[in-house]
Amino acid sequence: MTYSLMIQEKEENTIYLPSAVSLSGQTMAAFGSVSTPCRFVSSPLLDKHIIVTSDVVKRLYIPFAADVHLILDDDTVHLGPLVGIFTAGFTKSPLRPVGKRSFFFAKLLSQEKKVGGFAFLFGAHHIHWETGTVTGYFYTESGWMQREVPLPTVIYNRLPNRRIENSETFQMIKETLKNQYGIPWFNENFFNKWEVYCLLKEHPHSRPYLPDTSLHPTAETVQYFLDRYGEAYLKPANGSLGFGIYHLVKKNGQYECRFRDEHGYNRIRTFPTLSSLWQHLFSHQKWDHYIIQQGIQLIEVNGRKVDFRIHTNKNEQGAWQVSAIAAKIAGKRSVTTHMNNGGIVKTMEEIFPDASVRQRILKRLHDVALTLSRGLEEQMGITIGEIGFDIGLDQKHRIWMFEANSKPGRSIFKHPKLKQDDERTAMLSLAYAVYLSKKIIAEPEALLQ
């Protein structure tokens, strides 16, 4: 339940709460990481409102009136929560503070009205360690605004790439906020394809959905995979957006390699032997950070392969749910179904017009995505709030999981019929942040082990 926070200029050092809120001697008010002593008054005249005097608002750095949750512990009434979304790539533009990604973050932050509390965007240079505050970007009906607020209750990591995430600066900030300030993070790092495979392989319920995969491929490994499966994919273990992927096929005694060249063109090269393919294409390639994955005979539409992007999110109860699902059809001669390589997004209704067939497949895809979400979180032992899966259905209708992403892309949501799914995935990220905030206040030890 949320309450409309109203600011009163007249009195001092007081918060008026509805009499339905059961106080038990609390003497402190908190917002994010800042707290202050104040007087609480229960009022039968209030129902869904709370009134905070302006001096308390100022001491707590509350940026403006909004709908808030009340979270009570033994001696403190927590207002909020205050959710920080950590990213990088800030510009000096007041209209587009994070460049092209400003639109995505505006859509994300505008969901806070449905959830309650305050959510803001910040980067490393916005933290004021000496005061324990942050100059955060809020998105309101008037557009972007900056306000100084306390360090947040929880942090959602939306860094744009691995390079920044692996930097010493970020690692130091994350460790300081987690360990010294007790602030939990969720989706705190990008996933590595090989690590995901190894972890899920140890999870009995997830193992059946994994294609055979091996690290550091050699010509011998490739030969083994092609002899056994007929086709295989070479992928960067830390890659994204389909870059650097090679599709190898053995057919009619020859070896075919599909890839996207440095100019963005889809290429096909055919060789009489694997050793000649390897010599021509891969002799100078470093395979330290690559995996090889079993190729799957996927279902097709008009001769083009189809896979599915499935988003799962934790909700306001902290439980996993499927929040979006769409089909992706590979572009002409393309190695993958990625949009930047000519892929096309279709709704499930467009791919499976027969309602009974569609419902049966949807049910299976949902169940698998939830199994994998729970399995991945259990095996990783970190807090995860959302995952984007690339999942395939082979021609015998067996389900396979190709990739799991902790910072799932948003390209599928360009489809006009997926607008609600776009909003739902954004709203659930904030709803889960509220759940996590309540949990850290009620049971701080449980989250910070």
DSSP result, 388-411:
EEEEEEBTT--EEEEEEESS---G
Report yes or no on 353 lying in a domain.
yes
Q: Are residues 204 and 340 in the same domain?
A: yes
Looking up tokens 């206040």, which residue turns up?
A: 441
Is there a single domain that holds both residue 418 and residue 322?
Answer: yes
SS3 assignment, position 377: helix
Cβ distance 125 to 97 under 8 Å? no
Residues 71 and 39 in one domain: yes
Please state, in angstroms and rounded to a whole number, the distance separating the CA atoms of residues 420 and 411.
14
Same domain, yes or no, for 291 and 311? no
Is the preceding peptide bond at 81 cis, omega within 30 degrees of 0? Answer: yes
Burial pattern 318-353, b for ≥16 Cβ within 10 A else e, equals eebbbbbbbbbbbbeebbbbbbebbbbbbbbeebbe
Structure tokens at 448: 């910070």
If one counts every other C-beta atom within 10 angstroms of the C-beta of residue 303, the result is: 7
Are residues 204 and 347 located together in one domain of the fold? yes
- Domain total in the chain: 4
Residues spanned by the domain of 26: 2-80
Same domain, 134 and 236: no
In a shared domain, residues 281 and 314: no
Instruction: Kindly give the confidence (pLDDT) of every residue in the chain, 449 residues in length, as a single tens digit, with 9 standing for 90 and above.
Output: 999 999 999 899 999 999 999 999 999 999 999 999 999 999 999 999 999 999 999 999 999 999 999 999 999 999 999 999 999 999 999 999 999 999 999 999 999 999 999 999 999 999 999 999 999 999 999 999 999 999 999 999 999 999 999 999 999 999 999 999 999 999 999 999 999 999 999 999 999 999 999 999 999 999 999 999 999 999 888 766 557 889 999 988 899 998 887 777 888 899 999 999 988 888 777 787 899 999 999 999 988 999 999 999 999 999 999 999 999 998 765 565 555 555 789 999 999 999 999 999 999 999 999 999 999 999 999 999 999 999 999 999 999 999 999 999 888 888 999 999 999 999 999 999 999 999 999 887 765 54
Q: Are residues 305 and 421 in the same domain?
A: yes
423 φ/ψ angles, rounded to the nearest 5 degrees: -65, -40
Structure tokens, 409: 């892309």
In a domain, 447, yes or no: no
Give residue 190's Cα distance to chain centre: 9
The answer to whether residues 258 and 335 touch, using CB atoms and an 8 Å cutoff, is: yes
* pTM score, whole prediction: 0.93
Tokens of 313: 């999110």
Instruction: Please check whether residue 376 is in contact with residue 204, taking contact to mean a CB–CB distance below 8 angstroms.
Output: no
Q: Give dist(CA 368, CA 392) in Å, integer.
A: 11
How far, in whole angstroms, is CA 117 from its chain's centroid? 20
